[in-house]
Amino acid sequence: MENREVCHCMGVSYSDIYNAVNNLSRLEDVLDTFKQIQEATSCSTGCGGCYNEVVGLISDIINGYADPPHHHHHD
């Protein structure tokens, strides 16, 4: 998945979330993980508009459905 900014209020990108999830020593359920990622990255602490997307991404990452982020290269 191409890296992109997921939380615009806090400037948190997909790779920030992906890496933060993978840095956790144990994965709880999605909402517990969300709280840990929120603390680690500050994502979804502003307007809350990204909440559903962040939770969805965390769910995908935990379940192994999410591709590692990569940066777009301009050739």
**Which residues here bind ligand FES, judged by CB under 6 A?**
7-10, 44-50
What angle, 0 to 180 degrees and rounded to 10, lies between the N-to-C axes of helices 14-23 and 30-41?
110
Q: Tell me how far, at minimum, the Cβ of 12 lies from ligand FES, in Å.
A: 7
Q: Tell me how far, at minimum, the Cβ of 53 lies from ligand FES, in Å.
A: 8
Q: Tell me how far, at minimum, the Cβ of 10 lies from ligand FES, in Å.
A: 6
CB nearer ligand FES, residue 14 or residue 64: 14
Q: Distance of CA 1 to CAs 29, 43, 46, 66, Å?
A: 23, 19, 25, 8
